[in-house]
A and B are shown apart, each in its own frame.
Chain A
Amino acid sequence: MSYIGSIFRRLLFFEEPKKQEQFTLKSPGQAQQGSENQSNNQPGKQSNNQSGNRPDGSLGLTNAKAVTKPNKMPAEAKPISISKPQKEQKQSPKVSKQPDEISDDINVNLEYMKNRFSIPLNCDIILREFSINYKNKLIPAFIMFFDGMTDRAIINGFILKPLMVNSIMDVKESEYNLQDFILKQLLPHNQITLESTYSKAIDKINFGSCALFADGLCVSFTADVKGWEHRGVEKPNNEIVIRGPQEGFNELLRTNTAQIRKRVKDENLIVDDIAVGKVSKTPCSMLYIKNVANESLVGEVRRRLESLNVDYMLDSGILEQLIEDSTIYPSPQMISTERPDYVSEMLVLGKVVIIVSGSPNVLVVPVTAYELMHSAEDIYVRYPYANLLRAVRYFALFLALLLPGIYIAIVNYHHEMIPTDLLIAIEAAREKVPFPSIIELLLMEISFELIREAGVRVPGPIGPTLGIIGALILGQASVAANIVSPILIIIVAVAGIGSFALPNYSLAYSIRILRFGFIILGSIAGFLGITLGLFMIGVWSTSVKSFGVPFVAPYGPRTSTKSKNTFFRAPEWKLEFRPDYLDTKKKTRQDKYSMGWKPGNGNNRG
């Protein structure tokens, strides 16, 4: 009962917010005061004292939760790599005292790796045993790699061949010990690392490396020989522009980071790798420009990524759900894009980008409500065109969100709002329809959603058939059968087209959900209900933050409007400032007189 009472109390009475419950983005100066233990190159790098990441060092409710998690993680993560071998140790008595450390006995290593990779049950792991000739002695060795994930030609030509053939060649005796002999003399590969523990070697093998074990060595040589099949750089499928680059991200992490780096040619662009997922260890890259992005923002993104306690994280869509601020707020709180040029633009503004290996969708944080209405093309076309397009999009947003609700409100309650002739036409069309207008509208909306969902799932060749069925059955037949009125089909179709005009796919989803809410509100209370709904969404939106940035900034709260790219955008030469709400280290992105060639500007002055 006391719990229910507390809920009612919270519903009725405003409670003073606890200080710094949520992460709030601070300016770099303020952030440095509270985070003395952060390193310069890697701001916010995980430290034991989590309050170091907080600009103010405070521990609110949210902080307290967040603080305990990262502290737990190293403690929990460690046993995962160690405890498993301990279990294996009981099974195989050969493994000696420290189970995770690689033994110098090749047979122990061989047995251990066979156990871990379930050989011969596991069919795609390749284990190749051979001998290395060292000082006229044959040293037993073996390599392990996954078939299909690695490049066989590289393994054959640059690992096996040197080890088996070139080792016979005469080298100066006793110049190198066996480890240096293999590392410096035999393996010509450019990415060789030495691992002293099984867990690290196994992680590398799982991610497309080839591991070499040799008798007498307590280390494993791992060569990066990734060579799995992948998609090339293709046109982005879901964010097509007429003017601008036509390259999209693909599923390869390094291809994606390279695509960004070739655009942002700046040594300050940091690509910071973080593995997410205790089991999957999915490589993620966090990108930011060191001398532009706010350190506390970078630290917050890192903190959220490092504190995730999940077994598997396979896509950026999953990551988005795990690190977003409000999980119940319908609108997306980060941009998901497959365009490297757009991501580069966002990086230059001072945002942080997260790339997940295996996902062509890249996340950009933080984001404001207005940026969800921006398209990548906006920056490539002249500003009057871009503004026209944005105006059309806002109109589309209005139609997609409110048109069915307004229709139902007018038809049910506000007949005086529309011209009499139109009202008579609507009523005449509705005369033979047996359902109340709300049922009629919901019927059409649900049918429309059904066709849209089926259109996504339907195999390509049958696609046009679905369009014909949709147009004929929903359009013509339902009107002819007097199930719905013709004007309602126009309303639903226009609202549907409006949702397709929105540039952000996730935003379109949220609008679809809210549209149903407005239909119900409109049918219950007319315009009053719709106004109430808009009021509630407005209040809700002002309380949401995206990585410390208020969702409706710079208008709620009102901050500097120097950045002239919110609702509409100013000409390119006038976009001198980065968004104020990002609190970037560099406030300006170009000089005041960016067009130096103009008389009176910059160098050509006078």
Chain B
Amino acid sequence: MSLALALIVLFALTVITIHTISYAVWNWRNNKSGALQVFLICLVTIALPTYVYFFRT
């Protein structure tokens, strides 16, 4: 996959992650464990593709 495509995919994932994190922040008051899980999912959503695209050899 070309670098440009990887960047586009990562950009889309970043937008989704920011949106989801803001949801988790909103949800923190009512459901702390749920919010934590959402944080974790967000982390994985960004970290895994980044690793696959740029660090995996």
Contacts and interface: CB of A to CB of B under 8 A. Distances in A.
A13 B19 contact: yes
Given A528-B9, A528-B49, A13 B1 contact: no
B18 to A, nearest CB: 5
B35 to A, nearest CB: 12
Interface in B9-55: 9, 12-13, 15, 18-20, 22-23, 25-26, 49, 52
A524 interface: yes
A14 interface: yes
Nearest to A17: B26
Contacts of B26: 14, 16
Given A14-B23, A14-B26, A16-B26, A525 B18 contact: no
Majority-rule SS of A interface residues: helix
Contacts, number: 30
A525 B1 contact: yes
A413 B5 CA distance: 14
Contacts of B19: 11-14
Contact of B5 (A11, A525, A532): A525
B34 to A, nearest CB: 12
A392 B25 CA distance: 42
Contacts of A529: 9
Interface residues of B, number: 15
Contact of B9 (A13, A16, A413, A525): A525
A377 to B, nearest CB: 40
Nearest to A8: B15
Contacts of B5: 524-525
Contacts of A11: 15, 19
A14 B25 CA distance: 9
Given A525-B1, A528-B49, A12 B22 contact: yes
Contacts of B25: 14
Interface string A494-538: 000000000000000000000000000000111011001000000
A319 to B, nearest CB: 35
Given A525-B9, A528-B9, A528-B49, A12 B1 contact: no
Contact of A13 (B12, B13, B22): B22
Contacts of A525: 1, 5, 9
B9 A12 contact: no
A12 B25 CA distance: 13
A190 to B, nearest CB: 62
Nearest to B18: A12
B52 to A, nearest CB: 8
Contacts of B23: 14
A532 B52 CA distance: 15
A8 to B, nearest CB: 9
Contacts of B13: 532
A13 B20 CA distance: 8
B18 A13 contact: yes
B15 to A, nearest CB: 6
Interface string A5-26: 0000001111010000000000
Contacts of B52: 528
Given A525-B9, A528-B9, A528-B49, A14 B1 contact: no
A525 B15 CA distance: 17
B20 to A, nearest CB: 8
A7 to B, nearest CB: 12
B24 to A, nearest CB: 8
Contacts of A524: 5, 9
Interface string A522-565: 00111011001000000000000000000000000000000000
A529 B10 CA distance: 12
A526 B53 CA distance: 13
B26 to A, nearest CB: 6
Contacts of A526: 1
B9 A14 contact: no
A248 B19 CA distance: 48
Nearest to B12: A532
Interface in A417-459: none
Nearest to B53: A528
Residue with the highest number of chain B CB atoms closer than 10 Å, among A14, A16, A413, A525: A14
A338 B9 CA distance: 45
Contacts of B18: 12-13
Nearest to B49: A528
Interface in A1-46: 11-14, 16
A97 B12 CA distance: 68
A93 to B, nearest CB: 68
A440 B36 CA distance: 45
A14 B15 CA distance: 11
B45 to A, nearest CB: 9
B21 to A, nearest CB: 8
Contacts of A14: 19-20, 22-23, 25-26
Contacts of A13: 18-19, 22
A17 B36 CA distance: 21
Residue with the highest number of chain B CB atoms closer than 10 Å, among A11, A525, A526: A525
A524 B9 CA distance: 9
Contacts of A12: 15, 18-19, 22
A534 to B, nearest CB: 14
25 contacts: A11-B15, A11-B19, A12-B15, A12-B18, A12-B19, A12-B22, A13-B18, A13-B22, A14-B19, A14-B20, A14-B22, A14-B23, A14-B25, A14-B26, A16-B26, A413-B1, A525-B1, A525-B5, A525-B9, A528-B9, A528-B49, A529-B9, A532-B9, A532-B12, A532-B13
Given A12-B15, A528-B49, 17 more contacts: A11-B15, A12-B19, A12-B22, A13-B18, A13-B19, A13-B22, A14-B19, A14-B20, A14-B22, A16-B26, A413-B1, A524-B5, A524-B9, A525-B5, A525-B9, A532-B9, A532-B13
For the complex of A and B, 5 pairs with smallest distance between CB atoms = A14-B23, A14-B22, A13-B22, A12-B18, A14-B19
